[in-house]
């Protein structure tokens, strides 16, 4: 049995520290957490519930939707639409923002999410997750418009992810540190198991989908070449490589033991600036990583400083141990000089 701080207690203590807090945010976060527990349950039961495999539909990104993409999106919506804390929601799986149904009150926050990150991995039983970001609505109590969501990541009130791995964890930041909680299924509560997570500044591990190597820009080519050259190369040390194809799993590994994750700009499809989406993948992860002492850039700019132009905008992502991210970002600037 656990004796530690529960997530419920942690959130309420945070509320007590926040001047003028009404409890709205606490209650909203609680509903997000309940959705993550429900998603953990469906993902965990998997084939027993007949939820594996794909649908015939595509999402706005042109990606084939998994049954679980749709189910988990629905869980997030149902859990968060009714309580009156939100002016709107936006998700990877919905072309347009989700309008809160008329029978429910409108609130002062916006919720943006990727309900199932790494969903190509669900059929093969590899870790997946849910990523979310909470923003203040520009106008409280008014149905949110697309423009309302287009806020720089630096304005996030809270960001988090749940990872459905060998254990289910929730990792969270309110802007003063990053904390990790593990789900105790017997009690039904997340318990603080990883207080003040800190990314080591130095690392010998990088993560990138190397099948795209021929499409990378020179600075990324150079960085990876130097890692691969190992002890006798310019870096003077051997590196290890990982690629899970679930951003949540990569970020979680980096928060735990350091490393760098890159989904950089490439020339594979010139219409796309990167693969990952700014509002519900890059921004929340950048906030979490920075709050754990790491860095997150596009190679050229800090991710949290970007001004979003569209709900489903893609950006290059380079994040993790600060020294390594600074090195890759430095190579981009050298090229520009
Ligand atoms: P999603 O399943 O939400 O579409 O996200 C998948 C993302 C990300 O989690 C992962 O890092 C990346 O796509 C993997 O891309 P590749 O298949 O190109 O390696
Ligand atoms: Mn994703
Ligand atoms: Mn997804």
CATH of segment(s) 205-336 = 3.40.190.80
- Tens digit of each residue's pLDDT (9 = 90 or more) over 75-121: 999 999 999 999 999 999 999 999 999 999 999 999 999 999 999 99
Span from the CA of 199 to the centroid of ligand 3 (angstroms)? 25
Residue 70 has pLDDT above 60, yes or no: yes
pLDDT attached to residue 30: 96
Helix (H) or strand (E) holding 289: helix 283-291
* pLDDT band, very low/low/confident/very high, at 57 (cuts 50, 70, 90): confident
The CATH number of domain 7-194, selected from 3.30.70.270, 3.40.50.2300, 3.40.640.10, 3.30.540.10: 3.30.540.10
Probe target for ligand 1 pocket from 161, 244, 275, with the most ligand atoms within 8 Å of CB: 275
CATH 3.30.540.10 range(s) for the chain read: 7-194
* 277-296 pLDDT per residue, tens: 999 999 999 999 999 999 99
**Residues, beta carbon < 5 Å, ion ligand 2:** 114, 117
Q: What is the spatial distance between Cα 119 and Cα 126, in angstroms, rounded to a whole number?
A: 9
Q: How far is the CA of 93 from the centre of ligand 3 (A)?
A: 7
Using alpha carbons, select from 172, 60, 151, 171 the residue that is nearest to residue 109.
151
Mean pLDDT of all residues in 141-170 = 98
The atom of ligand 1 lying closest to the CA of 248 is 9
User: For residue 130, is pLDDT > 70?
Assistant: yes
Give the tens place of pLDDT for each residue, 197-224. Answer: 999 988 999 999 999 999 999 999 999 9
Across the range 151-180, mean pLDDT stands at 98
Q: What is the pLDDT of residues 11-50, one digit of tens each?
A: 999 999 888 889 999 999 999 999 999 999 999 999 999 8
* CA 114 to ligand 3 centroid distance, Å: 5
Q: Which ligand is nearest to the CA of 115?
A: 3
**Alpha carbon distances (Å) from 227 to 120, 224, 317, 334:** 28, 5, 18, 18
Q: How many A from CA of 118 to the centre of ligand 3?
A: 6
Q: Is pLDDT above 80 for 335?
A: no
pTM for the whole structure: 0.97
- Cα(164) to ligand 3 centroid in Å equals 13
Q: Does 56 score more than 90 pLDDT? A: no
**Position in ligand 1 atom list of the atom nearest CA 263:** 11
Kindly give the distance from the C-alpha atom of residue 317 to the centroid of ligand 3, in angstroms, as a whole number: 16
* Residue 262: per-residue pLDDT: 98
Question: Ligand 1, from 43, 92, 209, 261: best to mutate by most atoms within 8 Å of Cβ?
Answer: 209
Query: Facing residues of 113 across strands?
Result: 91, 132
Ligand 1 atom 12: the closest Cα is on which residue? 245
Nearest to 86 by CA among 143, 33, 130: 143
The H-or-E segment that residue 128 falls in is strand 128-136
Q: Which residues line ligand 1 (CB under 6 A)?
A: 63, 92, 114, 117-120, 209, 245-247, 263, 275
| Pocket test residue of 251, 253, 276 for ligand 1, highest count of atoms within 8 A of CB | 276
pLDDT in tens, 288-329: 999 999 999 999 999 999 999 999 999 999 999 999 999 999
Residue 1: pLDDT over 60? no
What the block records as the tokens of 6 is 């529960």
| CATH 3.40.190.80 domain position(s) in the chain | 205-336
For ligand 1, atom 17, the nearest C-alpha belongs to: 245
């Amino acid at each position: 049995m656990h004796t530690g701080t529960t997530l419920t207690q942690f959130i309420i203590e945070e509320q007590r520290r926040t001047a003028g807090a009404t409890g709205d945010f606490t209650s909203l976060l609680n509903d997000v957490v309940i959705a993550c527990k429900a998603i953990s349950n469906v993902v965990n039961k998997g084939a027993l519930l007949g939820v594996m495999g794909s649908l015939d539909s595509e999402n706005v990104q042109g990606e084939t939707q998994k049954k679980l993409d749709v189910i988990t999106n629905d869980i997030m919506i149902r859990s968060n639409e009714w309580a009156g804390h939100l002016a709107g929601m936006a998700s990877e799986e919905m072309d347009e923002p989700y309008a809160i149904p008329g029978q429910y009150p409108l609130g002062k926050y916006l919720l943006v999410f990727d309900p199932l990150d790494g969903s190509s991995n669900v059929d093969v039983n590899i870790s997946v997750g849910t990523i979310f970001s909470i923003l203040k609505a520009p106008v409280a109590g008014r149905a949110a418009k697309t423009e309302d969501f287009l806020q720089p990541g630096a304005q996030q009130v809270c960001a988090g992810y749940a990872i459905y791995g060998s254990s289910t964890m929730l990792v969270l930041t309110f802007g003063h540190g990053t904390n990790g909680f593990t789900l105790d299924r017997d009690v039904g509560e997340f318990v603080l198991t990883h207080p003040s997570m800190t990314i080591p500044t130095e690392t010998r591990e990088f993560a990138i989908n190397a099948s795209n190597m021929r499409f990378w820009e020179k600075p990324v080519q150079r960085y990876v070449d130097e890692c691969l050259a190992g002890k006798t190369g310019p870096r003077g040390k051997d590196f290890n490589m990982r690629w899970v194809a679930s951003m949540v799993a990569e970020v979680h590994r980096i928060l735990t033991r350091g490393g760098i994750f890159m989904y950089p700009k490439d020339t594979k499809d010139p219409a796309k600036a990167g693969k990952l989406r700014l509002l519900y993948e890059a921004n929340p992860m950048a906030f979490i990583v920075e709050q754990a002492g790491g860095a997150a850039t596009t190679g050229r700019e800090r991710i949290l400083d970007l001004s979003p132009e569209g709900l489903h905008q893609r950006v290059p992502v380079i994040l993790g141990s600060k020294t390594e991210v600074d090195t890759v970002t430095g190579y981009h600037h050298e090229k520009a000089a």
